[in-house]
Amino acid sequence: MGVKPIALDIKDLKHRFLKKEVTVTIQCGGNRRSEFNETSRGNTSGIGWGFGAMSTATFGGTLLRDVLLYSGLLRPESAEQLGVRHVQFISADGLQASIPVEKALDVYGDVLLAYEMNGEPLPKEHGGPLRVVVPGHVGVRNVKWVQQIVTSPEEAEGPWQRGIAYKGFAPGVTTFEGIDIEGIQSIQEQPVTSAIVCPQRGSVVEPGQPFDVTGFAWSGGGRGIVRVDVSADGGKSWKTATLKEGSEQHSRRAWAWTFWEVELFAPTEAQEFEICCKATDSSYNSQPESPEPIWNIRGLNNNSWHRVHISVACNDEDDD
C-alpha cells in the first residue's frame, strides 16, 4: 500500500543505499520471567528465563526508512493519508511481525535491514543473510531471515503479533476465555530495567568490608539511563551507582544498555543479606519494587527491582 513493488537483494542494499551502523540491545519480552513464577500468583506460560534473554551487538546495514522512501513512501504524513499504519516483516520460516509506520519512517528511529553483525557478515543463527533490527523494541519485532516487507493498514498476522504471545494482560487474567486477544495492544517498546551481574547469588563477602556491585541498565524506545540506585539492605537505603560505558549515548537514542558500578559495605556480622537495584530512564520512569502487581499470565516485561542474595563470611576464632 502506497509503494511500488520492488525486489532487492543484498548486493542492491549494499550498492544503492548508504550503510549505517547501530549498536543495539535486543531483549526478549520474557526476560526475567522466572521471577514471576516465584510469586504467590504462580507460574506463567513460556520459558523461565533469568535476566540473560538479551544481548548487544553492532549491526550494519541499510536503513529501512531509505528503502521505504525509495519505494515511494515519502513521510509519515503521506503514509497516514494513504492509510498505511504498519510495516510488516515476513521471515523465511513463516514468522510475521510488524512495527508502527511512524517508527519505520522516523529519521531518528534507526531501523535497519541488517546484513552485518560486529563487522562480519550476519551469521545465519542471528538471522543472516538479512534481518530487521528495530532498536528499542521487543526482540520478536527484530525478524530474522526476512524475505518480504509489506506496508499495510493492519498489523502482521499470526501468533507473534496478534495472538497471546506478546500481549500484556492484567494480573487478574488467568484464562483467555471471553477475551478479545486481537484487541489488546501488542508489545513494541519495553519498560526500563536493570540487573546485577556481580556478585552473583550465593557469593560470600567479608564482614564490614567494601565490595563492588556491577550490572547493566536499559530502557525501550531509546530512552537513556539517567540513574541507577543500589541497596545493600533490601531497599531500606540506597546508593547511586556510577554510570559507565553506554552512558554517553544520546538520551533519546540510547539503543544499547548502560553499564554501572558501585561500592557497598557488607554487614559486620555473619548473615545472608539482599542487594537490589533499580534504574531510572530519561523520561523518569523507574522500576516497580515487586513483580507481584505486574504479574501477567504470559510472563512479559518483568522490570521489577532485581534482587540478589549473598552472604557475609563467618570468621572462626579460637576460644582461648
The per-residue pLDDT for 316 is 62
State the Cα angle at 233 between 227 and 235, rounded to 5°: 45
Residue 137 belongs to a domain:
yes
Same domain (yes/no): 301, 255: yes
Same domain (yes/no): 156, 216: no
Set of cell numbers at residue 33: 520471567
Number of domains in the chain: 2
pLDDT tens, N- to C-terminus, the chain (320 residues)? 888 899 999 999 999 999 999 999 999 999 999 999 999 998 998 899 999 999 999 999 999 999 999 998 777 777 888 899 999 999 999 999 999 999 999 999 999 999 999 999 999 999 999 999 999 999 999 999 999 999 999 999 999 999 999 999 999 998 888 899 999 999 999 999 999 999 999 999 999 999 999 999 999 999 999 999 999 999 999 999 999 999 999 999 999 999 999 999 999 988 999 999 999 999 999 999 999 999 999 999 999 999 999 999 987 654 44
Same domain (yes/no): 45, 161: yes
Sign of the C-alpha dihedral, residues 156, 71, 103, 23?
Answer: positive
Same domain (yes/no): 31, 127: yes
The per-residue pLDDT for 164 is 94
Report if pTM > 0.75: yes
Residue 317 belongs to a domain:
no
Same domain (yes/no): 268, 178: no
Of 157, 166, 158, 163, whose CA–CA distance to 180 is shortest?
Answer: 163
Would you tell me how many other CB atoms lie within 10 Å of the CB of residue 240? 12
Residue 264 belongs to a domain:
yes
Same domain (yes/no): 230, 131: no
- How, if at all, do strands 86-91 and 131-133 pair? unpaired
Instruction: Give bridge partners of residue 218 from the DSSP assignment.
Output: 193
Question: Residue 104 in contact with residue 68, Cβ under 8 Å?
Answer: yes
Amino acid at 11: K
Same domain (yes/no): 200, 143: no
Set of cell numbers at residue 94: 513463516
Question: Residue 300 in contact with residue 45, Cβ under 8 Å?
Answer: no
Residue 112 belongs to a domain:
yes
Domain that holds residue 97: 10-183
Domain limit, last residue, from 183, 211, 233: 183
CATH of the domain at 281: 2.60.40.650
Same domain (yes/no): 213, 292: yes
The per-residue pLDDT for 64 is 97
Residue 1 belongs to a domain:
no
Give me the phi and psi of 14, to 5 degrees please.
-75, -35
CA 274 to chain centroid: 25
Domain limit, last residue, from 153, 183, 213: 183
DSSP-assigned letters across all residues of 99-120: EEHHHHH-TTT--EEEEEETTE
Residue 318 belongs to a domain:
no
Domain limit, last residue, from 144, 163, 183: 183
Specify the DSSP class assigned to residue 137: B
Instruction: Give bridge partners of residue 137 from the DSSP assignment.
Output: 189
